[in-house]
């Protein structure tokens, strides 16, 4: 049995090209790299709210993304 050690979470629904489902505010994964990639490629509805990847056993936030991190329209890091 695989332990789901990583949680992608937000206070708002998470959407993205690699995520299926409607109105999910948390997703659980076993692999840290996959969790970070999914979080990085996702956004929230409404746009701009924070998405975090949390290591569940320790509670450590290993990745955090907000609208200020990446520009919405162009993907430009200066936004």
pLDDT, one tens digit per residue, over 29-76 is 999 999 999 999 999 999 999 999 999 999 999 999 987 655 555 455
pTM of the model: 0.80
Task: Give the whole-angstrom CA distance, residue 21 versus residue 15.
Answer: 8
21 — pLDDT class (breaks 50, 70, 90): confident
10 Cβ neighbours under 8 A, 6+ residues apart = 25, 26, 44, 49, 50, 51, 52
Which comes out higher in pLDDT, residue 44 or 1? 44
What does the pLDDT read at residue 20? 82
């Amino acid at each position: 049995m695989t332990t789901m050690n990583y949680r992608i979470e937000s206070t708002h629904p998470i959407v993205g090209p690699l995520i299926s489902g409607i109105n999910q505010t948390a997703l659980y994964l076993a692999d840290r790299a996959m969790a970070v990639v999914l979080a990085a490629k996702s956004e929230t509805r409404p746009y701009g709210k924070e998405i975090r990847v949390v290591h569940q056993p320790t509670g450590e936030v290993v990745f955090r993304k907000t609208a200020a991190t990446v520009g919405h329209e162009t993907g430009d890091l200066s936004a």
